[in-house]
């Protein structure tokens, strides 16, 4: 049956790990990482510096061996050599030789990846177009800004039409314009069905591009799930006359309530419970002028998780 194997391939997750752990000199860098990254997703791997993000990426790419645990990348065991051709990688710290042109960097990587020599130039041009450097193919890396060098790094990661792209802190060295550009490239990859695994300590970045996140703290995942679910608890601010502490009796079941003059704030309320709360207030004689719901930013959520340190 033609296409059956391809379909099965697409159905299996891009990344699957089970209790993956790494120690360096007896000290845990990553502990019991169990996660699933479905195909086509932009997955954010989030945590402060030193949390173990780069260590996890090195295990996924076979650049370091796990102390314990196991995993599959594109259906193959960690460290599988053939699978590396199907994975693009932007390392955290990289530097290309200043005297090479952008095209030469890409041709060299094409050669390393054993791409047919006749195809290399066309492939180099194609990825330069994706990252917006098509007009700079013949310019030397030494003349590039940080943002352009980062884009060239992305172009290298995109060579060979990878099914999975692993980006380790792709925006931390960039200014806001550069960050915006990288976000656009990630959106573009997603629209073409490429799975993106994004390491970052920048919450705002992750919040803007990722569907799912895992939050890492000191080598352990402390939260994992879709952004919508992680951030589903919300708060509401209500402006109303005629509210006293008596009016609020029994309403604590909705969330934590603060009353300041005519402003009422309820934290931790679920979004779907907001209409019922407003109805109760009105039934108790409040005159409601404004209702404004807000979901916490990933940053507030993250700080809450890190706060128990
Ligand atoms: N090659 C190594 N040798 C010894 N310790 C390491 C090595 N690589 C990472 N570590 C340690 O492992 C922990 C996690 O590091 P890392 O994975 O680089 O974190 P992150 O990428 O989240 O900043 C840190 O405490 C770091 O010092
Ligand atoms: Mg790192």
CA dihedral for 119, 141, 157, 134, sign (positive or negative) = negative
CA 59–ligand 2 middle distance (angstroms): 13
With a 6 Å cutoff on the Cβ, whether 17 touches ligand 1 is no
Query: How much is the mean pLDDT over the chain?
Result: 89
231: confidence class by pLDDT, cuts 50, 70, 90: confident
Residue bearing the CA closest to ligand 1, atom 13: 29
* Strand pairing report for 195-200 and 164-168: parallel
DSSP secondary structure letters along 37-87: E-TT-EEEEE--TTSSHHHHHHHHTTSS--SEEEEEETTEETT-TGGGGGE
Which class is domain 9-226? alpha beta
Model's pTM, two decimal places?
A: 0.81
pLDDT at 290: 95
Question: What fold, for 231-306?
Answer: Alpha-Beta Plaits (3.30.70)
74: left (phi > 0), else alpha (psi -120 to 50), else beta?
left
* C-alpha–C-alpha distance, residues 214 and 28, integer Å: 18
Mutate to test the pocket of ligand 1, among 30, 54, 55 (most ligand atoms within 8 A of CB): 55
CATH 3.30.70 maps onto the chain at 231-306
Q: In this structure, what DSSP letter does residue 194 have? A: -
Each residue of 187-229: pLDDT tens digit?
Answer: 999 998 999 999 998 888 888 899 999 999 889 988 888 887 7
Average pLDDT over residues 291-296: 80
**Would you call 253 helix, strand, or coil by DSSP?**
helix
- Collapsing DSSP to helix, strand or coil, 28 comes out as strand
CB-count exposure of residue 174 (10 Å: 0-12, 13-18, 19+): buried
**Residue with CA closest to ligand 1 atom 2:** 24
42, 210 Cβ separation under 8 angstroms: yes
Ligand 1 center from residue 5 Cα (angstroms): 38
Give 167's pLDDT tier (boundaries 50, 70, 90).
very high
Decide: 131 and 158 in contact? Cβ < 8 Å. yes
Nearest ligand (C-alpha, residue 216): 1
Per-residue pLDDT of 23-33, as tens digits, reads 999 999 999 99
* Statement: residue 309 has pLDDT above 50: no
**Using CA atoms, how far apart are residues 168 and 188, in angstroms rounded to an integer?**
18
Ligand 1 nearest-atom number relative to CA 51: 22
Residue-wise pLDDT tens digits, 100-150? 999 999 999 999 888 888 889 999 999 999 999 999 999 999 999 888 898
Does the C-beta of 50 come closer than 6 Å to ligand 1? yes
203: its two tokens: 């919450």
Residue 197 dihedral angles phi and psi, to the nearest 5°: -110, 115
- Ligand 1 atom with minimal separation from the 169 CA: 21
- Contact in structure between 206 and 53 (CB atoms under 8 Å): no
Within the chain, all domains assigned CATH 3.40.50.300 are found at 9-226
């Amino acid at each position: 049956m033609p296409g059956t194997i391809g379909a099965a391939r697409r159905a299996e997750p891009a990344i699957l790990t089970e209790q993956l752990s790494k120690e360096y000199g007896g000290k845990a860098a990553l502990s019991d990482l169990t996660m699933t990254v479905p195909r086509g997703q932009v997955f954010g791997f989030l945590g402060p510096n030193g949390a173990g993000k780069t260590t996890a990426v090195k295990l996924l790419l076979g650049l370091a061996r796990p102390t314990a645990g196991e995993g599959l990348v594109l259906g193959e065991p960690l460290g599988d050599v053939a699978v590396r051709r199907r994975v693009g990688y932007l390392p955290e710290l990289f530097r290309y030789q200043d005297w090479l042109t952008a095209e030469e960097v890409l041709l060299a990587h094409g050669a390393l990846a054993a791409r047919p020599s006749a195809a290399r130039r066309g492939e180099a041009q194609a990825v330069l177009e994706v990252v917006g450097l098509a007009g700079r193919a013949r310019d030397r890396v030494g003349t590039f800004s940080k943002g352009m060098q980062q884009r060239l790094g992305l172009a290298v990661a995109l060579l060979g039409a990878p099914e999975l792209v692993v980006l380790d802190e792709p925006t931390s060295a960039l200014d806001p314009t550069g960050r915006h550009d990288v976000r656009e490239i990630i959106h573009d990859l997603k629209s073409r069905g490429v799975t993106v695994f994004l390491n970052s300590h920048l919450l705002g970045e992750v919040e803007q591009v990722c569907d799912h996140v895992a939050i890492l703290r000191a080598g352990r995942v402390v939260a994992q799930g879709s952004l919508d679910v992680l951030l589903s608890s919300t708060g509401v601010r209500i402006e109303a006359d005629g509210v006293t502490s008596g009016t609020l009796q029994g309403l604590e079941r909705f969330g934590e309530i603060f009353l300041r003059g005519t402003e009422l704030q309820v934290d931790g309320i679920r979004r779907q419970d907001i209409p019922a709360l407003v109805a109760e207030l009105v039934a108790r004689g409040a005159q409601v002028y404004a209702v404004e719901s807000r979901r916490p930013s990933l940053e507030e959520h993250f700080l809450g998780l890190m706060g128990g340190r």
